[in-house]
Amino acid sequence: MSGIARKHRTVSLKKRGQALVRQLEEQDRRAAEERTRQMDELYGPKGEKGGRCNRTACQRPLKGSSNWSMRNFMVEGGRLYYCDPCAEDFTAWDKRSGDPIRCEIIEADRVDP
């Protein structure tokens, strides 16, 4: 195989590999969208009152439990909602770092065990 043919083959393989990576990324994106849609149907939207905890690593259902809220600084007047354990984690961090406490419970949203 000549040097030109070898180079052409290498470029061709590289392009096929890049196309495969794009295809796999698109499949992953679609699968993630489908998982989110299913979670929204089962437990409600992430970060909304009565939905799921806004913390991505958690996403516990909030229905039937206390809904702690944190102001969403990206949306004027917006609030994001968290479960008890995540709100406690945020509060502990805020106290350690000396920052203002970000999570608060609205009394109407409190559920006593």
Tens of pLDDT along 35-90? 888 877 878 888 888 899 999 899 999 988 888 888 766 666 678 899 999 999 99
Residue among 74, 72, 71, 64 at smallest CA distance from 113: 64
Task: Write the CA distances from 18 to 7, 12, 27, integer angstroms.
Answer: 17, 10, 14
Q: How many domains does the chain have?
A: 2
Q: Which domain holds residue 36?
A: 1-43
pLDDT at 95: 93
Q: Are residues 56 and 19 in the same domain?
A: no
Q: How far apart are CA 33 and CA 13, in angstroms?
A: 30
Q: pLDDT averaged over the chain?
A: 83
User: In this model, does residue 108 exceed pLDDT 70?
Assistant: no
Alpha carbon of residue 13 to chain centroid: 35
The secondary element (H helix, E strand) that includes residue 80 is strand 78-82
- At 16, the pLDDT band (50, 70, 90 cuts) reads confident
- When computed from its CA atoms, the radius of gyration of the chain, rounded to whole angstroms, is 23
The verdict on 35 and 60 lying in the same domain is no
In this structure, the answer to whether residues 68 and 38 fall within a common structural domain is no
